[in-house]
Amino acid sequence: MKIHAETRRLFQQHIKPSIDGSATTSTARTVVYEYCIEIALRNLESVKKPIPPTPASSLSELLKQRRDLAVAVARCKWRDKAAIFDAKREADVLATRRQWAVELGVELQRVKDIEKDFRDLMTQSKDIQERCFAEWNFHPRQAIGTSLSLTTDLRPRIDAVDRRIIRRLGSNASPTNISDTPGTSPRGTCKPSGK
Protein backbone atom coordinates (compact mmCIF):
# COMPACT_ATOMS: atom_id res chain seq x y z
CA MET A 1 0.00 0.00 0.00
CA LYS A 2 1.31 3.44 -0.93
CA ILE A 3 0.82 5.00 2.52
CA HIS A 4 2.72 2.19 4.26
CA ALA A 5 5.65 2.48 1.82
CA GLU A 6 5.74 6.23 2.39
CA THR A 7 5.67 5.71 6.17
CA ARG A 8 8.55 3.24 5.92
CA ARG A 9 10.54 5.66 3.73
CA LEU A 10 9.96 8.57 6.14
CA PHE A 11 10.92 6.39 9.08
CA GLN A 12 14.15 5.24 7.42
CA GLN A 13 15.04 8.74 6.21
CA HIS A 14 14.11 10.91 9.19
CA ILE A 15 13.06 9.07 12.32
CA LYS A 16 15.60 6.23 12.46
CA PRO A 17 18.56 8.64 12.08
CA SER A 18 17.23 10.69 15.00
CA ILE A 19 17.20 7.56 17.11
CA ASP A 20 20.77 6.85 15.96
CA GLY A 21 21.71 10.44 16.84
CA SER A 22 22.49 11.61 13.29
CA ALA A 23 19.50 13.97 13.06
CA THR A 24 17.96 16.42 15.46
CA THR A 25 14.85 15.46 17.38
CA SER A 26 13.09 18.63 16.19
CA THR A 27 13.67 17.63 12.54
CA ALA A 28 12.21 14.19 13.16
CA ARG A 29 9.30 15.69 15.09
CA THR A 30 8.59 18.18 12.29
CA VAL A 31 8.59 15.46 9.64
CA VAL A 32 6.29 13.25 11.69
CA TYR A 33 3.96 16.20 12.40
CA GLU A 34 3.80 17.19 8.71
CA TYR A 35 3.21 13.59 7.71
CA CYS A 36 0.38 13.26 10.25
CA ILE A 37 -1.24 16.38 8.82
CA GLU A 38 -0.93 14.93 5.31
CA ILE A 39 -2.54 11.66 6.43
CA ALA A 40 -5.31 13.57 8.22
CA LEU A 41 -6.02 15.57 5.07
CA ARG A 42 -6.17 12.36 3.02
CA ASN A 43 -8.57 10.89 5.56
CA LEU A 44 -10.74 14.00 5.37
CA GLU A 45 -11.21 13.31 1.68
CA SER A 46 -12.78 9.97 2.58
CA VAL A 47 -15.06 11.71 5.09
CA LYS A 48 -16.46 13.89 2.30
CA LYS A 49 -18.02 10.83 0.70
CA PRO A 50 -21.50 10.15 2.06
CA ILE A 51 -21.56 7.12 4.30
CA PRO A 52 -24.66 5.02 3.73
CA PRO A 53 -26.44 4.15 6.95
CA THR A 54 -25.80 0.57 7.91
CA PRO A 55 -28.80 -1.55 8.74
CA ALA A 56 -29.02 -2.13 12.46
CA SER A 57 -30.71 -5.16 13.89
CA SER A 58 -31.15 -3.96 17.46
CA LEU A 59 -32.18 -0.86 19.33
CA SER A 60 -28.76 -0.62 20.97
CA GLU A 61 -27.07 -0.61 17.54
CA LEU A 62 -29.40 2.14 16.33
CA LEU A 63 -28.69 4.19 19.46
CA LYS A 64 -24.95 3.70 18.93
CA GLN A 65 -25.34 5.05 15.37
CA ARG A 66 -27.29 8.01 16.76
CA ARG A 67 -24.53 8.67 19.32
CA ASP A 68 -21.87 8.58 16.59
CA LEU A 69 -23.90 11.09 14.61
CA ALA A 70 -23.95 13.38 17.67
CA VAL A 71 -20.15 13.55 17.46
CA ALA A 72 -20.35 14.43 13.75
CA VAL A 73 -22.91 17.13 14.58
CA ALA A 74 -20.53 18.48 17.24
CA ARG A 75 -17.78 18.72 14.60
CA CYS A 76 -20.07 20.75 12.31
CA LYS A 77 -21.16 23.04 15.14
CA TRP A 78 -17.54 23.47 16.27
CA ARG A 79 -16.49 24.37 12.72
CA ASP A 80 -19.42 26.76 12.25
CA LYS A 81 -19.11 28.19 15.79
CA ALA A 82 -22.78 27.33 16.29
CA ALA A 83 -24.51 26.89 19.62
CA ILE A 84 -25.12 23.36 20.85
CA PHE A 85 -28.66 24.04 22.05
CA ASP A 86 -31.34 25.35 19.69
CA ALA A 87 -34.75 25.35 21.39
CA LYS A 88 -36.72 25.86 18.17
CA ARG A 89 -34.89 23.07 16.36
CA GLU A 90 -35.38 20.73 19.31
CA ALA A 91 -39.13 21.48 19.42
CA ASP A 92 -39.38 20.87 15.66
CA VAL A 93 -37.53 17.55 15.97
CA LEU A 94 -39.83 16.38 18.77
CA ALA A 95 -42.94 17.36 16.79
CA THR A 96 -41.65 15.49 13.72
CA ARG A 97 -40.81 12.36 15.73
CA ARG A 98 -44.27 12.45 17.32
CA GLN A 99 -45.84 12.78 13.85
CA TRP A 100 -43.80 9.85 12.50
CA ALA A 101 -44.92 7.66 15.41
CA VAL A 102 -48.58 8.54 14.76
CA GLU A 103 -48.15 7.85 11.03
CA LEU A 104 -46.72 4.43 11.89
CA GLY A 105 -49.90 3.66 13.82
CA VAL A 106 -48.31 3.67 17.26
CA GLU A 107 -50.92 3.89 20.02
CA LEU A 108 -51.24 7.27 21.76
CA GLN A 109 -49.65 6.23 25.10
CA ARG A 110 -46.64 4.76 23.25
CA VAL A 111 -46.33 8.01 21.23
CA LYS A 112 -45.96 9.88 24.55
CA ASP A 113 -43.34 7.38 25.71
CA ILE A 114 -41.47 7.74 22.41
CA GLU A 115 -41.52 11.52 22.74
CA LYS A 116 -40.00 11.20 26.23
CA ASP A 117 -37.39 8.78 24.83
CA PHE A 118 -36.41 11.30 22.17
CA ARG A 119 -36.16 14.08 24.76
CA ASP A 120 -33.72 11.81 26.64
CA LEU A 121 -31.87 11.00 23.42
CA MET A 122 -31.49 14.69 22.55
CA THR A 123 -30.22 15.40 26.07
CA GLN A 124 -27.62 12.66 25.63
CA SER A 125 -26.66 14.12 22.24
CA LYS A 126 -26.18 17.57 23.76
CA ASP A 127 -24.10 16.03 26.57
CA ILE A 128 -21.87 14.38 23.96
CA GLN A 129 -21.51 17.64 22.04
CA GLU A 130 -20.70 19.60 25.22
CA ARG A 131 -18.08 17.02 26.19
CA CYS A 132 -16.54 17.21 22.71
CA PHE A 133 -16.43 21.02 22.84
CA ALA A 134 -14.77 20.90 26.26
CA GLU A 135 -12.22 18.36 25.03
CA TRP A 136 -11.51 20.36 21.86
CA ASN A 137 -11.07 23.58 23.85
CA PHE A 138 -8.12 21.92 25.56
CA HIS A 139 -6.90 19.99 22.50
CA PRO A 140 -7.93 21.94 19.37
CA ARG A 141 -5.99 19.60 17.06
CA GLN A 142 -8.38 16.79 18.00
CA ALA A 143 -11.25 18.79 16.53
CA ILE A 144 -10.40 17.78 12.98
CA GLY A 145 -12.85 19.62 10.79
CA THR A 146 -15.43 18.12 8.53
CA SER A 147 -16.73 19.04 5.12
CA LEU A 148 -20.11 17.54 5.91
CA SER A 149 -23.11 19.82 6.04
CA LEU A 150 -25.31 19.65 9.10
CA THR A 151 -28.39 20.38 6.99
CA THR A 152 -27.83 18.31 3.85
CA ASP A 153 -25.59 15.48 5.08
CA LEU A 154 -26.12 14.79 8.77
CA ARG A 155 -29.75 15.66 9.45
CA PRO A 156 -31.06 13.27 6.75
CA ARG A 157 -28.92 10.51 8.29
CA ILE A 158 -30.20 11.35 11.77
CA ASP A 159 -33.76 11.31 10.43
CA ALA A 160 -33.24 7.85 8.88
CA VAL A 161 -31.84 6.44 12.13
CA ASP A 162 -34.60 8.10 14.18
CA ARG A 163 -37.33 6.60 11.97
CA ARG A 164 -35.86 3.16 12.60
CA ILE A 165 -35.64 3.86 16.32
CA ILE A 166 -39.31 4.85 16.31
CA ARG A 167 -40.23 1.62 14.48
CA ARG A 168 -38.33 -0.37 17.13
CA LEU A 169 -39.84 1.53 20.03
CA GLY A 170 -43.33 1.50 18.50
CA SER A 171 -43.26 -2.25 17.89
CA ASN A 172 -42.03 -2.97 21.41
CA ALA A 173 -44.93 -4.18 23.56
CA SER A 174 -43.50 -2.80 26.79
CA PRO A 175 -42.17 0.71 27.34
CA THR A 176 -38.44 1.09 26.77
CA ASN A 177 -36.35 3.57 28.66
CA ILE A 178 -33.59 4.63 26.27
CA SER A 179 -31.30 5.43 29.19
CA ASP A 180 -31.46 1.77 30.28
CA THR A 181 -30.60 0.40 26.83
CA PRO A 182 -27.08 -1.05 26.55
CA GLY A 183 -24.66 1.13 24.64
CA THR A 184 -26.52 4.39 25.18
CA SER A 185 -24.31 5.94 27.83
CA PRO A 186 -23.20 9.41 26.75
CA ARG A 187 -19.78 8.78 28.31
CA GLY A 188 -16.95 7.96 25.98
CA THR A 189 -14.84 9.61 23.35
CA CYS A 190 -15.49 12.43 20.92
CA LYS A 191 -14.72 10.08 18.07
CA PRO A 192 -17.34 7.91 16.38
CA SER A 193 -17.29 4.50 18.03
CA GLY A 194 -16.22 1.53 15.98
CA LYS A 195 -14.83 3.72 13.19
Q: What is the pLDDT of residue 145?
A: 72
Q: How big is the chain, counted in residues?
A: 195
Q: Is the separation of the CB atoms in 11 and 111 below 8 Å?
A: no
Q: Cα-atom radius of gyration of the chain, to the nearest Å? A: 21
CA angle at 187 for the pair 184 and 191, rounded to the nearest 5°: 95
- The whole-number mean pLDDT for each consecutive block of 10 residues of the chain, a chain of 195 residues, reads 58 59 58 60 53 64 92 92 95 96 91 93 94 89 81 94 92 61 55 49
Closest CA to 187 of 179, 47, 137, 83: 179
Give the pTM.
0.65
What is the biggest distance separating any 2 CA atoms in the chain, rounded to whole angstroms?
Answer: 74
Q: What is the pLDDT of residue 160?
A: 95
Q: What is the pLDDT of residue 102?
A: 94
HSE of 141, CA atoms in CB hemisphere, 13 A? 4
The helix or strand, by DSSP H or E, that contains position 137, with its residue range, turns out to be helix 108-138
